[in-house]
Amino acid sequence: MMTLLGVAFGFFAWFFVRYGLGGFYTIGPNERGVLTTFGKAQRLGEHSTLDDPALAQALRPEEVERYAYPQVRVIGPGFSWKFPWQSLYKVSVATVTVSIAHDPDTPEANQHGQVLEAVTKDQLNTGLTGQLRYTVSERNLYAYLFGVKNPVSHVMGYFVSILRDRIANFEAPRGADSGLPAVASDLGGAQGISINDLRKNLRDLNERMDAECASAPARYGISLDAALITGIDPPGEIESALAAINTAHNQVSSEISLAQAAADQKIVQSKRAVEIETLNAQAEVEPLLALAAQLRELKAQGAGALQAYVRNTRMKLYGRTRSLIAVQGGEVRS
């Protein structure tokens, strides 16, 4: 009898310690938790990620049904208790910074996570270095905890695939967008050296990557805060050739800029010369126009008024002349 009581007491003591005291848990400031009851996460009614505009708007139409995850109750920082048949899943929501070459499944890959290789549009194998910052999305913890087996591996693979695709098809903006004269920009396009374009447009590439990865929270429950590509290094055997091409391109651009400046200056000077000559012609024409208007007014007064004007004008001219030569009947008289 005493043995049975001891066994019963021991069982209840173990049960109390294991599931009573052991049922208490804490959630840290940078942590969030999700409770499951008999393996099923506590959900918020029938709501799904499609009801959250911040998540749904980043998905393409064909992806909407595929990534419709249920919304679950998220437990914030604090101290609480769970039942024995419940399990707690805790995740850190702190921002994590990793190299863009980091491979969670194979740490030795990509030169031990230091350099990511990619092929450019002109078939050059180049190395990429940079950083990627990501955070677990509180809006879609179901996808992070239960949607995929290793969400970090999935999101890194997703990011790398998009990055390599952008590197292989990247085209730098030309003309006014490139900040170079139109002719110089055409020369750069003729060269087709995409590594030069990538180096000059890293900011544009980073912005495009941020836009392409906007659907990561809806897909995997991970938000890519920022992708910062800091270096693009071509193979060593073509580095000198690229440097020579860049030098020649810069010289051509400089000469074209100087030629355009000289041409613009000549055009301005020509415009000014035309304006001066136009003003001079207008100054010579104005008196003639005024005289014509005056003669029309005299003619309107009658033929006698016009003849009197002509006679008075002749008298003024005669008064200014020193000698007068007249031709009459073939004879010249002075």
- For the entire predicted model, the pTM comes to 0.62
Listed residues 236, 258, 286: the one ending a domain: 236
Together in a domain, 222 and 95:
yes
Residue 138 burial by Cβ neighbours in a 10 Å radius (0-12, 13-18, 19+): middle
Whether residue 251 lies inside any domain: the answer is no
Together in a domain, 106 and 209:
yes
Whether residue 310 lies inside any domain: the answer is yes
Together in a domain, 164 and 302:
no
Neighbours of 173 (CB within 10 A): 13
Together in a domain, 188 and 300:
no
Whether residue 306 lies inside any domain: the answer is yes
Together in a domain, 116 and 201:
yes
Q: Specify the higher pLDDT residue, 276 or 16.
A: 276
Together in a domain, 110 and 221:
yes
Instruction: For residue 98, give the H/E element and its range.
Output: strand 96-99
Between CA 333 and CA 299 the distance in angstroms is 33
What is the domain extent for residue 284? 268-318
Between CA 29 and CA 93 the distance in angstroms is 9
Whether residue 252 lies inside any domain: the answer is no
Task: Please report, for the domain that includes residue 91, its CATH number.
Answer: 3.30.479.30
Q: Which two tokens stand for residue 183?
A: 């002719």
Q: How far is CA 202 from the centre of its chain?
A: 10
Whether residue 221 lies inside any domain: the answer is yes
Kindly state the greatest CA–CA separation across the chain. 173
% of the chain with per-residue pLDDT over 90: 18
Residue 170, C-beta contacts closer than 8 angstroms, at least 6 positions apart? 120, 121, 194, 197, 198, 201, 205
pLDDT of 230 over the 90 cut: no
The one-letter amino acid code at 83 reads F
Q: How far is CA 70 from the centre of its chain?
A: 33
pLDDT in tens, 90-106: 999 999 999 999 998 88
Whether residue 289 lies inside any domain: the answer is yes
Pairing of strands 125-136, 326-328: unpaired
If one counts the domains in the chain, the total is: 2
Q: Are 48 and 68 spatial neighbours (Cβ–Cβ below 8 Å)?
A: yes
pLDDT of 136 over the 70 cut: yes
Together in a domain, 158 and 66:
yes
pLDDT bin (cut points 50, 70, 90) of residue 294 is confident
Whether residue 329 lies inside any domain: the answer is no
Q: What is the mean pLDDT of the chain?
A: 80
Question: b/e string for 150-159 if b means 16 or more Cβ within 10 A?
Answer: ebbebbbebb
The one-letter amino acid code at 152 reads V
Together in a domain, 156 and 213:
yes
pLDDT in tens, 57-93: 888 888 888 899 999 999 999 888 888 888 899 999 9
Together in a domain, 181 and 302:
no
The one-letter amino acid code at 141 reads L
Together in a domain, 219 and 278:
no
Lowest mean pLDDT among 8-12, 98-102, 143-147, 181-185: 181-185
Between CA 284 and CA 291 the distance in angstroms is 12
Together in a domain, 69 and 213:
yes
Together in a domain, 53 and 181:
yes
